[in-house]
Chain A
Amino acid sequence: MIAADQLTYDYPGKRALDQVTFSLAPTSITALVGPNGAGKTTLLRCIAGLDEPYSGSIAVAGIDVLRRPRDAHRQIGYLPDHFGLYAELTVRQCLLYAGRARGLDSAALDARMRDVAAQLDIADKLQDKAGSLSRGQRQRLAIAQAIIHRPRVLLLDEPASGLDPESRAALSGLMRRLRDEGMTLIVSSHILAELEAYCTGMLVLQHGRVVEHRVLEHSSRADATREIRLRLSRPVSGLRELLTQRGVTISSHDTQGARFSMSGGDDALSSLLQSLLAAGLPVCEFTLEETSLQDVYLKAVEDHRVQP
């Protein structure tokens, strides 16, 4: 859905993006993360066709953004980090304007406006002026404007900044719903714990380069590899052999516990636990040790910590 090839962007005296190449699948939610100044916003602006790169190409929904910017813009919704609203217009007028400007026909516009207002929980604010809204409400209105034309790609730069915890939770739900509706999302944020709740992939930028691009595995998938921690209430000799016989890969162990990895879904996990209990092991803890987004991010950044 989004493909960048050898994307390079230069500011005078600074290379913001350096040969960035990646491809994102449709209906994915990708967390775009990286230290400050890594090039995240520049990358989003290049994908949106707002800034032209020095070299390379970008395609959104198969459209060459550099050659056919307006066609691409019709497929894109973008919420910049520092967005603006027409403070003197009412919320309703803001949404109607956004819809008309993005080519929605008048017949469907009113219904769509009410639909997104309800989705973003600002339906009761339609007659209020945008300038009178709180920070969180303004954020939601800006997102509503960005999605009113049902874009195929949604780019969000720090969408949760300024939102209270309740609004952030609602935002997570919205992301999943938009993905379910068929949108492909890229979300740039520093709040990794929240990204983890809904992202299906992660793109780590550092010094303008992609240092990590991975699809995040869901623990319920049948072929997923999971790290498990096992703790026993008393020492048991031969624990290593017991575990090895059951096809797991042990990373560390002693007589009272072990860490190991295994492949398989939830059924395989359940069978393993039953088997260990049946073997008479005094299991007091059997825990999935999932690698967090933050761990992956920090490791990627640490591995590539070089001078720019």
Chain B
Amino acid sequence: MKPDLNPEFVRHVWLDLTPQRLIATPLILAMVFVISTQLEGLVGEMPSVAMMIFIGMTGLWGAKLAGDSLNNELTQGTWDSQRLSGMGAWQMTVGKLGGGPVFAWYGGALCLLVFAATSDWNLESLRKLLTAVSAAVALHAGALLAALVGWRKQPRTTATPRSRGASILLLLVFAPQMFMLIGGRENAGEVIWYGWHIAFSDFVLLCAVLAMFWATLGLYRVMREELSFRDPPNAWIAFLLFLCGFTGGFFHGRVAGYAIPELSPLLAHLAFCVLLMLLATYALLFGERKDWVKLRRLADLARGGRFREAWEITPKWLASLALSGAAVGILALACVATLPPMSAIAKLCTAAGFFAFLVRDGALVLGLNFVRDQSRADAAAAVYLMVLYALLPGLLNVVGLHFVAAVFWPTLIHEQPVWLVLVLAQAAVALDFAIRRWRRLPA
């Protein structure tokens, strides 16, 4: 279907591109550009000004508009109607992605016209333009994705403030990078990736295109779930594996000890992958809804041998947990194969300790969520984890029990591998807690 016939896009055009806006925007932008010509020494040359306005208006403000367009569906009570429409997930994704920030794109297109008209037209200008457009689409998709994920976290009636918060957080994180990377002043030099020397501006463009691809794919997959399709965590797993592969470029082709002292590029990369998986699992443990009715159904399906259906409803945190375990296993094997025995044991125990801490924390989060009213469970889990990771070790250190305090920090297992037993004991206690709470759930 042509973009101009996408019903969702057309609806946004009706709503956002009013005649008043269509006339006023070019006039206001023209005034800004005229003023900027008088302040050239202060604000930079015209192409830079045009690009900065594009980043601000289309990239950042557009992301806000995109997020708001979804949040408004919720507050206006129109989302169920959209979910029942005949539009496919891809059509809906394109419609929201192009339609939500359509006004920001209108202003942005004018800025890009000015940029194109005033630049020395060469490969560098084209690269900058493509980077800016890709980054803007990635941000819009990210904002929409954050809004949808925010909704799924809690009952729909109260989801909006949190999903708005997710969009704002996204902007706060990415806004400075966008201005710095696309702005043009910090893009000299090169990046070494898998041993290749790549111009920094080329690498930024590659990252922006990849971010656009993954953010759009993520949005599409979550949209599918919203449109009642069962959606196994395949894309999420593919994304994590992609991250492992992509970040490998910063380790391989380097000398040993470049990234992490004493470790070969392979081991350093694997250690980083473990860290990545752990972080992803933690993020989803707190970011996803722990619907125990769905978990019970998953357990029933698995017990009944209906593994395909079970896989379709497997939560992403569980898939991430499994990947974390696999990453730890691969790292352990690599350590055993490439390091002297004592060093291998120390690193193996450290990796296992990280995983045991993840299991402990996951069990704690789940156990606290195994109640009728889950509204405060994640907040309570966060407080308990703060106690376990900061307050309790701090207190033990204050009273001179440094040795015992080490039990609550996974990195110290490297010095005392035997401490792993105590970490495993903590994980066992947490699992017992979660299992007891699970069994006490109403039938």
Contacts and interface: CB of A to CB of B under 8 A. Distances in A.
Name, among A50, A74, A101, A103, the residue most crowded by chain B CB atoms within 10 Å (CB to CB). A101
Contacts of B300: 55
A52 interface: yes
Contacts of A97: 7, 10-11, 14
A69 interface: yes
A84 B87 CA distance: 18
A90 to B, nearest CB: 9
A34 interface: no
B88 A70 contact: yes
A70 B78 contact: no
B297 interface: yes
A54 B297 contact: yes
Contact of B77 (A74, A78, A84, A98): A84
A100 interface: yes
A102 B10 contact: no
A64 B69 CA distance: 31
Contact of B7 (A54, A76, A84, A101): A101
Contacts of B293: 10-12, 54
A89 B72 CA distance: 14
A83 B83 CA distance: 13
Interface string A83-98: 1111111000100011
A84 B297 contact: no
Nearest to B293: A10
B8 interface: yes
B8 A70 contact: no
Interface residues on B, range: 35 or more
A145 B82 CA distance: 11
Nearest to B300: A55
Contacts of B76: 84-87
B291 interface: yes
A280 interface: no
Interface string A66-85: 10011001101010101111
Contacts of B88: 70
Nearest to A15: B443
Interface string B135-156: 0000000000000000000000
B85 A89 contact: no
Contacts of A102: 85-86
Residues of A contacting B: mostly: loop
A10 B79 CA distance: 22
A50 B228 contact: yes
Contacts of B373: 12
Contacts of B73: 84
B415 interface: no
Given A12-B374, A69-B228, A84-B77, A100 B84 contact: no
B185 interface: no
B11 A70 contact: no
A249 to B, nearest CB: 46
B441 to A, nearest CB: 8
Given A10-B293, A86-B11, A86-B15, A145 B81 contact: yes
A247 to B, nearest CB: 53
Contact of B14 (A10, A76, A80, A89): A89
Contact of A73 (B8, B86, B372, B441): B86
A185 interface: no
Contacts of B124: none
A207 interface: no
8 contacts: A12-B372, A69-B229, A70-B229, A86-B76, A100-B7, A101-B7, A101-B87, A106-B5
Interface of A: 10-13, 48-50, 52, 54-55, 66, 69-70, 73-74, 76, 78, 80, 82-89, 93, 97-98, 100-103, 106, 145, 149
Closest 5 CB pairs of A and B: A84-B77, A69-B228, A100-B7, A101-B85, A13-B372
